[in-house]
Amino acid sequence: MTDSSAAHTAPVSGDSDRATILAGLLGLAEQTVALTDRLLACAPLIESRTGTTSSEDSTETVEPARPGIYRDRDGDIWHKTSAGWRLCLQHGVDVDSTSVWEWLDGHVRDYAPFIRLAHA
């Protein structure tokens, strides 16, 4: 009588390769999230045009006046332009950035306060 259990427990080569690739991609994703968190933690202070560091516009509950890249209270990333607001990253995931939201009509204000990360 032969033992066929080895045949049932041995991984198929294709499945093993997929598992290895998936594990590698998940590891990269975790590293990306960790690095993004570190970057955002450093972001509240920005350099003004004069080169000095300030916290102007750092925690506004009203619409920020200047264009730029902002983080909302949930950690999502927005780009304010003269045309309105574009959501760039939501929960660390790239979103449809072609939609433009308005501060009042688009309810962007519901996600305030915003912290300015960079000049546009």
Domain map (residue ranges) of the chain:
10-41, 46-119
What's the average pLDDT block by block, 10 residues per block, for the chain (120 residues)?
50 77 83 72 48 44 86 91 89 82 83 85
Please count the helices (runs of H) and the strands (runs of E) in the chain: 2, 7
| H or E element that contains 72 | none
Beta strands across the sheet bearing 93-94 = 93-94, 84-90, 77-81, 68-71, 115-119
Question: Phi, psi (5° rounding) for residue 64?
Answer: -60, 140
Would you state the pLDDT for residue 70?
92
Statement: the pTM of the whole predicted model exceeds 0.85: no
Output the six-digit token pair for 107.
């309810």
